[in-house]
């Protein structure tokens, strides 16, 4: 009888319900969201918006850890090697998880093999801006000016291999222009130098630049996706403005290290989607020029796969040298 009773108790203890009750609650300690770029850029802004609401909801601190360098590779590798317990996430980008796998020959991680996608957070158009001193007011005028001054104009990007870098390389390839690339460690430095006149132009994530465009400190020429942005519908697309077929944008999403339990990935995904529907968060992101999304892990995985294929073609067609 004792043997039977012990067997029954063991079976109950091993049941999913019992195991769930016995498991430690999540989150059981502070969560860190790694941002592989400098503070104040789009990636950082979105991570902080999500992190603040997670803290309010779960009662655990969410720490934003900026680890810039090497086009996002330093912070991304750190996230890939973190303990897969749901307490470390990364705000991945089209650059870190869509581009770098094709751009770099030797990485210490892979966009999908070493990560568990959680949720697409936002789709972000890039915007082409110039410093106010540059005597151009349209994309066609910029092309004409660049052709009249080959190699004399410089453009900035938040790093080699970033969407800003490849977006301009695509522009150069499609327009036959010659502009000199100056890589920075983040968008904040690019913005400062465009405003200051140290560099002429950039095509970078709209949320960082739109407030300064509205303040009249820099001039917007166009947005880079195939359709206009709801945040600034008066600004034409690059395709409309003189480069037919041009299409380039950016996206941002949360990922966990590979091996993170599916139950935790799903919980993080559900929470992220909830946060993105909050009126204040949605309004804040939209005002910056981004489109809040929220997705299932499966949908985000499919997007990353398609982006890897897309940017591999752009890198090849634009003849960007592998770093």
Judge contact between 94 and 71, C-beta under 8 A.
no
pLDDT at 163: 86
The pLDDT of residue 279 is 97
Domains of the chain: 28-124+250-317 (3.40.190.150), 125-248 (3.40.190.10)
Of 268, 283, 258, 284, whose CA–CA distance to 119 is shortest? 268
Alpha-carbon dihedral sign for residues 218, 121, 87, 68: negative
Query: What confidence score (pLDDT) does residue 159 get?
Result: 80
What SS3 state is found at 302? Answer: helix
* pLDDT score for 2: 53
Average pLDDT, 10 consecutive residues per value, the chain (323 residues): 50 45 78 94 92 97 95 94 98 94 88 97 94 97 97 92 88 94 91 97 92 96 92 95 91 97 98 97 86 96 93 80 61
Task: List Cα–Cα distances, 294 to 50, 120, 291, in angstroms.
Answer: 11, 5, 10
pLDDT in the model for residue 205 = 87
Q: What is the pLDDT of residue 323?
A: 58
Structure confidence by residue, pLDDT tens digits, 126-159: 999 999 999 999 999 999 999 999 999 999 998 8
């Amino acid at each position: 009888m004792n043997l039977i009773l012990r067997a029954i108790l063991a079976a109950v203890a091993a049941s999913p319900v019992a195991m769930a009750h016995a498991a430690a609650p999540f989150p059981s300690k502070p969560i860190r969201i790694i941002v592989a770029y400098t503070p104040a850029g789009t990636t950082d802004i979105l991570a902080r918006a999500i992190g603040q609401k997670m803290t309010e909801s779960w009662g655990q601190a969410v720490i934003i850890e900026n680890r810039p360098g090497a086009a996002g590779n330093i912070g991304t590798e750190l996230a890939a090697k973190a303990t897969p317990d749901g307490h470390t996430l990364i705000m991945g980008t089209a650059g870190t998880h869509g581009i770098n796998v094709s751009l770099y020959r030797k990485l210490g991680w892979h966009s999908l093999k070493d990560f568990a996608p959680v949720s697409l957070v936002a789709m972000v158009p890039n915007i082409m801006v110039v410093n106010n001193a540059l005597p151009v007011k349209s994309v066609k005028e910029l092309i004409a000016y660049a052709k009249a001054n080959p190699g004399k104009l410089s453009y900035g990007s938040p790093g080699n291999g970033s969407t800003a870098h490849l977006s301009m390389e695509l522009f150069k390839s499609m327009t036959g222009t010659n502009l000199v690339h100056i890589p920075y460690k983040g968008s904040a430095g690019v913005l400062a130098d465009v405003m200051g006149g140290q560099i002429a132009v950039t095509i970078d994530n709209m949320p960082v630049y739109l407030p300064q465009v509205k303040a009249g400190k820099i001039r917007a020429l166009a947005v880079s996706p195939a359709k206009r942005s709801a945040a600034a519908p008066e600004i034409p697309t690059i395709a409309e403005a003189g480069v037919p077929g041009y299409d380039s944008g950016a996206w941002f999403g949360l990922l966990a290290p590979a091996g993170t339990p599916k139950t935790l990935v799903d919980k993080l995904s559900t929470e992220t989607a909830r946060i993105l529907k909050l009126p204040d968060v949605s309004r804040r992101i939209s005002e910056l020029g981004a489109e809040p999304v929220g997705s299932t892990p499966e949908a985000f995985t499919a997007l990353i796969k398609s982006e890897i294929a897309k940017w591999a073609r752009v890198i090849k067609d634009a003849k960007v040298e592998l770093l």
